[in-house]
Amino acid sequence: MEECEGYGDYNMEIFNFKTVMLMIGFLMIIAGCYCMIRTYHMLKIIIGIEVAMKAVTLFLILAGYVNGHIGLAQAYVVTAIVLEVVSAVVFAGVTIGLYKKYGNMDIRNLTKLKG
C-alpha cells in the first residue's frame, strides 16, 4: 500500500464510506425537499420533513465520527430526534384537526382558518 502513491492512492481515498454517506445524505435532503414541494397533502409533507431530518442525523453523526467527538455528536442527535418527534406529533395533530374541520388534509385550507 505504501508503494502506490500519487493519483492511484488518491482515487482509492475518494470513495470511502464517509464520502458515500455525504452523497447519500445530500440525495436524501433533495428527496425530502422534493416531497415537501410536490404535494399539498399534509401527511406527505411531514414524511418529507422526516426524510430530510434523517439526513441531518446522518450528517451530525458523520461529523462526530470524522472529528472523533462521537459523544458530543450523540448529544446533538438526541436533541434533533426529540425535536423531530415533537414536530411530527404537532403536525399530525394539526392534520387531524384540519381533516375534522374540512374533510381533507389539503394544506391550502390552513389559510381559511380565523382567530
Candidate residues 6, 8, 68, 115; the one interacting with another protein per rule CB under 8 A: 68
Is residue 110 involved in binding another protein (CB under 8 A)? no
Is residue 81 a contact point for another protein (CB under 8 A)? Answer: yes
Q: Which of 4, 19, 110, 113 binds another protein (CB under 8 A)?
A: 19
Residue type present at position 18: K
HSE-up of residue 41 (Cα within 13 Å, Cβ side): 7
Select from 3, 5, 8, 40 the one that contacts another protein (CB under 8 A).
Answer: 40
- What whole-number distance in Å separates Cα of residue 56 and Cα of residue 27? 12
Note whether 102 binds another protein by CB under 8 A.
no
Question: How many distinct helices (H) and strands (E) make up the chain?
Answer: 4, 0
> How many residues line the site for another protein (CB under 8 A)?
74
Look up residue 58 and give its amino acid.
L
- Residue 48 is a binding residue for another protein (CB under 8 A): yes
3-state secondary structure of 41: strand
